[in-house]
Chain A
């Protein structure tokens, strides 16, 4: 859609001769074209110039994104490293462009794999913000969709539906959660195949307009890429999100509690650790999401305890969670029976 001479940093697509049909005596590449060329020349630095990368980095403001990543997301060291690497590559590419060195736009489509609740959506949002600050996205918004939003119900419904979503995602990030549902092995007439074809085409031809992030469980994503080799090869960054350790889960819990304006009593802290330890070993453990659910339920019990006590309460009572708020959970009562949801 846009010619390849577009600088990665520029927010405007390079000029294209307008819709004016070629007319006799009408030279379409007029003064405008030469003006454009002059501007490009001005921007190119002489070969002996020096660029301060640290300053460039500070100007883009991505430091803020990294800081919020570090502060709000516990653990995930490999993911953060990978994001830093991508940011470094994009910064260096920008610097190269200033010297007029040819830099093809890097392929930024990604796949995030990992267990539920490991922060894939949150990281995708930060990623959109970072790419926007580096000038690789024009808007930096994130459209999060699943199979339902892309695949139609009857013949001829899928293409317009997918295109509509793609149009909304232009200039930002399209985040496809549980992308493997797009492909159904057992049904070759499934409309998901059509969606995949349209996606592939856009991922290839409109790389400057949007970034696609596919997310899902590791093993199912792997088999998805095996059955759709075209998709796998168009994705440059396969990032795996590790499960959280017990320690990290605890820190996440503390962050959430603080954000909600609660605190643990000293004994409750121990109980909470015990709770996480037990819950982690049970099926359907969803990492940070399970922590959030546990805290939500503790808040419920805390509230009903307050009501049941039927006496005046102070600030301390209203903000402190005690062991009983966790101990009545089914995680403690029947260790190997059916688990609570989440």
Chain B
């Protein structure tokens, strides 16, 4: 099941050229970019692990893309996303965030039903990948 999180997630995966253009758009707006990765893509898992520090004072997308590629090399079977932060007063929030890599297989989520008091049923989402320990989740790779 394809995970849809962040901007462009209903589009086909972006090519490097398209990613470069998005990064350039962010940099032209003076939004610093950062790279994050995770192997727990649950929708409520907001804070992914940081790949290095956010990159300030860049003017060209090549530097950010190089960092994305470094992360891909080190984490070939993880989800990787790129965030652009708008630091302007009154905004101070992520302005753009999109997935730039996903594992080759995404097993998806199952619904779990929990019977509670009376005849209440509670529903929760459980990623199949999360059955395995952290770090071995997708194809047993880091």
Contact = CB atoms under 8 A, between A and B. Distances in A.
Nearest to A16: B16
Interface in B1-57: 12-21, 52, 55, 57
A1 B67 CA distance: 12
Contact of B72 (A19, A32, A171): A19
Interface string B65-103: 011010010000000100000000000000000001111
Contact of B59 (A15, A172, A206): A172
A166 B63 contact: yes
A288 B52 CA distance: 43
B17 A16 contact: yes
Contacts of A22: 104
A16 B102 contact: no
A18 B20 contact: no
B130 interface: no
Interface in B101-126: 101-104
User: What is the size category of the interface that chain B forms with chain A?
Assistant: 20 to 34
Contacts of B101: 19, 21
A156 to B, nearest CB: 13
A23 interface: yes
B62 A171 contact: yes
Nearest to B99: A19
A141 B58 CA distance: 11
A19 B13 contact: yes
A120 interface: no
Contact of B60 (A14, A16, A19, A138): A138
Given A139-B59, A168-B58, A171-B59, A12 B17 contact: yes
A342 interface: no
Interface of B: 12-21, 52, 55, 57-64, 66-67, 69, 72, 80, 100-104
Interface of A: 1, 12-23, 32, 138-139, 141, 160, 164, 166-168, 170-172, 206, 209-210
Given A19-B14, A138-B62, A170-B66, 11 more contacts: A18-B12, A18-B14, A18-B18, A18-B19, A19-B13, A19-B72, A21-B101, A139-B60, A167-B64, A167-B66, A172-B60
* Closest CB pairs A-B (n = 5): A171-B60, A167-B63, A18-B15, A20-B13, A21-B104
29 contacts: A1-B62, A12-B17, A13-B16, A15-B17, A16-B16, A19-B13, A19-B14, A19-B16, A19-B19, A19-B100, A19-B101, A20-B12, A138-B60, A138-B62, A141-B59, A164-B55, A167-B63, A167-B64, A167-B66, A167-B67, A170-B58, A170-B60, A170-B61, A170-B62, A170-B66, A171-B60, A171-B61, A206-B66, A209-B62
